Amino acid sequence: MKYVDVILPLPLDGVFTYSLPATLENRVVVGARVSVPLGKSKHYVAIVYEIHERKPSFDVRDVTAVLDETPVLLPQQLALWRWMADYYCCSLGDVFKAAMPADLRDEDGWRPKTETYVGLTPTFRNELSIRRALQMLGRSPRKLQVFQTYLSLSGWFDVEGTTPPKNLREVTKEELMNESHSTAAHVNSLITQHLIFTYEKEVSGALRDTVAERPLKALSDAQATAKQQIENEFQQHDVVLLHGVTSSGKTEIYIHLISELIAQGKQVLYLLPEIALTVQMMQRLREVFGDALGIYHSRYSDRERADIWQKQLSDHPYQVILAARSGIFLPFRDLGMIICDEEHETSFKQQDPAPRYHARSAAIMLAQFYGAKTLLGTATPALETFYNCVARKKFGLVELTTRYSDIELPEIQVVDVKDLRHRKIMKGPISPALRDAMREALDNDRQVILFQNRRGFAPMFECHTCGWVPRCERCDVPLTLHKTHNRLVCHYCGSSYVIPQSCPACGETDLRTRGYGTEKIEEEINALFPEARIARMDLDTTRTRNAYERLINDFSAGKTNVLIGTQMVSKGLDFARVQVVGILDADGMLNYPDFRATEHAFMMMLQVSGRAGRKGQRGKVILQTRSKDLPVIGQVVKNDYKSFYKMQLDERRLFHYPPFVHLIYIYMKHSKSEIVDSAAVYMGSMLREWFGDRVLGPDKPAVARVKNMYLRKIVLKLENNLSQRRVREYLHLAQKKIMEDPRNAALHIYFDVDPL
């Protein structure tokens, strides 16, 4: 009797064993999907993990169906799943659910998408027959129009001789009806007359066929040197960091490396942290690689993502995949390199749900499983990444210190907002220096980017008389005013509330806003510059799939000339005509209660500054702050990453933070605060028995209630040389002991490894 161990797409530990009926024995392979029963009537699509003949000590049920003749999960992917589940302290089922498109997790899910095409019947594929057909249809104007439209679209119209012309174009039935302004009945009548026929063709839902339009651009001397250094470093290291200042031309170096790998028959995975960046980079890569390029991210439908997955398993996969972090889960036949661009970005870290992985770390592991290389790129390396280069010598390092075409880095002017407000010179969010710089840019037909890392109209709404602040009923957070929808909104659970006309605490009507979100900045700029063509890029304006593309294309084409945005606008976007960048509130980033706050603020400020002056004249950055004497402000002004790195490293060493220790956050949540408190105290006491003073907490996180669930947090600070496997064994043991108590049946415990 044969048995299979399978992975179910459920947050359950381990694998599950089923028996294989004799009729299915020869059809099952590791990595394929099968249908299995679970519970009384439920069936799930599972992935075959192992086939064996070890009879379990318990009764097992039969696999009910085999869904694939060949694997949909390759050995390297399965190795990544195992590593993720182990390293990030989650189940294989969690990884399965995150990794595979929903259509592939459904028995009735993915089927190849087909489209109906129209062709000319063989008997009419010559000039004489076509002319005879045109004469025959002369008495039926509608059918004649359809036939002539087909001939025009396909390339038959100007046919001469008796052989089909070259480069005939395939025409879909839908396209023919649209272009000829006809109905299906008109097309079908031509089919009945045997003039044309239809056929089905499998198509990918995610991409149109595209043709490469430009050859590779010649690299500058600095770029060519950097490329050669990268190749040299790959002789010694599997991972190399390209540390290049903003607008130094890193992308063109990537393109040259990709082109060489494709010529060797290799595939490349190009990871970017934001969909907005993916949209812009897609246009650049398509020009060079045409239909060899595939795109993969969460804004595509399940159907489209399943199409990409299946194409990657076919005999003609994409040679380059441009993707957000989920791209690491795709199958590759012969992966040669993973490029992780903007590697410092926090968007590479998955927060919820499990697996809470970092795409940079997962990419490095995936490349190892394929015997491939990993290239990290950024102007502001993550502290841990740079430490791995210069201190541990674990990664190779290549530095590109000049901008492309020797364009100067932007001038950064620090504006002391505290002083201006004290002297009554500045009232709103825009300083006189920024207003003047914007006026000059707009008068010269140049563009402006304004960076404010808060969405909505105002982050605070309060009663001026008694200080009452509206808070979410489900979460322990104040509500944000969104003027566009005229609602108060919780940014944690999404609940919205009617704006009160009077204070429910004291009855007064003097309700005021405090602070500035992107909506309010937009209103202020409209008032200051009525002629400006303004666009706003934040979570509220980019919820639809095509929103990113529309916003970016409009700004690139000059249809809009002021772009207001949250951190989305700081992430590597390339606009040629941006003269001024305004950083409206540096302090909002610096005052966040987190040991990485200074690092994140430095990176965002330097990155958004790099959007200015990328082509032509030198750009200008107005940095508004109430803390102009902070060292990090001076480091941003001087573009001095090395000083910033050294200062932060000294602090991290002193207070025992990464890269000198390994962090794990343990979260517990429950609908009753007393239950989560009791469980957290018990968890803390168990962990202290094993880890001693490496355990901090339990404590309440900054937001201690979300969606009516109370949260508690424990921090583990572990030396880097400790056995991570033993640590995870202790964590799972503590979790198991807590869950043995019936009172904790609804308690949820999860781990965040390497939190950001």
Task: List the Cα angle 603/607/611 in 5-degree steps.
Answer: 170
* Tokens matching residue 743: 């009172």
Same domain, 684 and 556: no
Same domain, 36 and 95: yes
Q: Which of 652, 679, 704 is the last residue of a domain?
A: 652
Same domain, 448 and 549: yes
Domain with residue 572: its CATH number is 3.40.50.300
Are 293 and 210 within 8 A, CB to CB? yes
Q: What is the spatial distance between Cα 664 and Cα 753, in angstroms, rounded to a whole number? A: 5
Q: What is the spatial distance between Cα 652 and Cα 723, in angstroms, rounded to a whole number? A: 22
Q: Which positions ≥6 away from 26 have C-beta within 8 Å?
A: none
Amino acid at 135: Q
Domain with residue 45: its CATH number is 3.40.1440.60
In a domain, 641, yes or no: yes
Q: Count of H helices and E strands in the chain?
A: 22, 31
The residue ranges of DSSP E strands in 223-348, in sequence order, are: 239-244, 267-271, 293-296, 320-323, 335-341
Same domain, 149 and 226: no
* Tokens matching residue 208: 């149109």
Give me the number of domains the chain comprises.
6
The residue ranges of DSSP E strands in 84-159, in sequence order, are: 114-120
In a domain, 356, yes or no: yes
Q: Which positions ≥6 away from 356 have C-beta within 8 Å?
A: 88, 90, 349, 350, 750, 751, 752, 753, 755
Residue 200's CB is within 10 A of a number of other CB atoms, namely 10
In a domain, 60, yes or no: yes
Same domain, 171 and 318: no
What residue has token string 């990657």? 312
Same domain, 300 and 339: yes
Same domain, 479 and 550: no
Domain with residue 723: its CATH number is 3.30.70.600
Q: What is the spatial distance between Cα 550 and Cα 534, in angstroms, rounded to a whole number? A: 13
Q: What is the pTM of this model?
A: 0.85
Same domain, 505 and 529: no
The 3-class SS string of 284-316 reads: HHHHHHHHHEEEECCCCCHHHHHHHHHHHHCCC
In a domain, 214, yes or no: no
In a domain, 210, yes or no: no
Q: Which of 401, 422, 442 is the last residue of a domain?
A: 401
Same domain, 506 and 522: no
Q: What is the pLDDT of residue 110?
A: 58
Residue-wise pLDDT for 56-101, tens only, equals 999 999 999 999 999 999 999 999 999 999 999 999 999 999 999 9
What stretches in the chain show pLDDT beneath 50?
159-162, 205-207
Give the phi and the psi of residue 575 in degrees, each rounded to 5: -120, 135
Q: Which of 58, 80, 104 is the last residue of a domain?
A: 104
Q: What is the spatial distance between Cα 360 and Cα 345, in angstroms, rounded to a whole number? A: 10
Same domain, 430 and 481: no
In a domain, 384, yes or no: yes
Type and span of the H or E element at 531: none
Type and span of the H or E element at 2: strand 2-7
Same domain, 448 and 465: no
SS3 564: strand
Give the phi and the psi of residue 705 in degrees, each rounded to 5: -145, 125
Domain extent at residue 496: 460-514
Q: What is the spatial distance between Cα 495 and Cα 488, in angstroms, rounded to a whole number? A: 8
In a domain, 357, yes or no: yes
Same domain, 574 and 711: no
Q: Parallel, antiparallel, or unpaired: how do β-strands 171-172 and 114-120 relate?
A: antiparallel
Q: What is the spatial distance between Cα 234 and Cα 398, in angstroms, rounded to a whole number? A: 11
In a domain, 526, yes or no: yes
